[in-house]
């Protein structure tokens, strides 16, 4: 298993961050993803599933499927996704940044990768550090995009 985590400060209340993070139909409109294909109906929560296109470092596009396994508004969101030989668990945690930064949210996103077959284990062994850097870059991009959408500006995430 490998784990990558990033944290940033978003200049908005956790409720507002949560609203955008979980607004699946509005993700493309806010430049958080390409068009999202909902696979389930009903309110957002455990069991909600969707597909969305994700940009790859090589410029390609990959369609990934996500499923909510835990949703505690506006504090914690846990998603799972399966890849080739690897299962992923993505955890978003939102918390107030403290009195000094009233109205700000510390947003942390953690991605844990679990190899599930021999191919995934071999790939993790040989590409572990490279994959971790790519995952960290993707998480930082997701966090920056979320912050920009919530704050309405491009220079959104500040080092926490």
Cβ contact 116:89 at 8 Å: no
Tell me the pLDDT tens digit for each residue of 7-36.
999 999 999 999 999 999 888 777 677 789
pLDDT at site 73 = 96
Q: What is the pLDDT of residue 34?
A: 76
Q: Which residues fall within 8 angstroms of residue 48, CB to CB, at 6 or more apart?
A: 24, 38, 40, 42, 67, 68, 71
Q: In CATH terms, is domain 2-159 a member of 3.30.499.10?
A: no
Q: Which residue carries 């940033």 as its tokens? A: 8
- If we measure between CA atoms, which residue out of 111, 110, 101, 106 comes closest to residue 157? 106
Kindly give the confidence (pLDDT) of every residue in the chain, 160 residues in length, as a single tens digit, with 9 standing for 90 and above: 688 999 999 999 999 999 999 999 888 777 677 789 999 999 999 999 999 887 776 777 888 999 999 999 999 999 999 977 789 999 999 998 766 667 899 999 999 988 887 655 555 554 556 667 778 888 898 899 999 999 874 344 444 4
pLDDT for the residue numbered 86: 83
In 3-state terms the chain splits into helix, strand, coil percentages (rounded to 5) of: 30, 40, 35
Is the pTM of the predicted complex or chain greater than 0.95?
no
Q: What is the pLDDT, as a whole number, of residue 27?
A: 80
Residue 157 has what pLDDT?
A: 46
**Residues near 25 by beta carbon (within 8 Å), at least 6 away in sequence:** 36, 38
């Amino acid at each position: 298993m490998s784990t990558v985590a990033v944290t940033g400060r978003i200049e908005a209340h956790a409720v507002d961050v949560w609203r955008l993070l979980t607004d699946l139909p509005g993700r493309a409109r806010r430049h958080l993803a390409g068009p999202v294909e909902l696979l389930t109906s009903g309110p957002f929560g455990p069991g909600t599933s969707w597909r969305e296109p994700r940009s790859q470092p090589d410029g390609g596009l990959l369609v990934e499927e996500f499923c909510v396994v835990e949703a505690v508004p506006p504090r914690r969101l846990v998603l799972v996704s399966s890849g080739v030989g690897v299962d992923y668990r993505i955890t978003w945690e939102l918390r107030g940044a403290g009195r000094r930064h009233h109205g700000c949210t510390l947003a942390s996103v953690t991605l844990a990768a679990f190899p599930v077959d021999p191919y995934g284990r071999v790939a993790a062994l040989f590409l572990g550090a490279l994959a971790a850097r790519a995952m960290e870059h993707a998480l930082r991009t997701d966090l920056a995009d979320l912050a920009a959408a919530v704050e309405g500006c491009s220079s959104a995430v500040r080092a926490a």
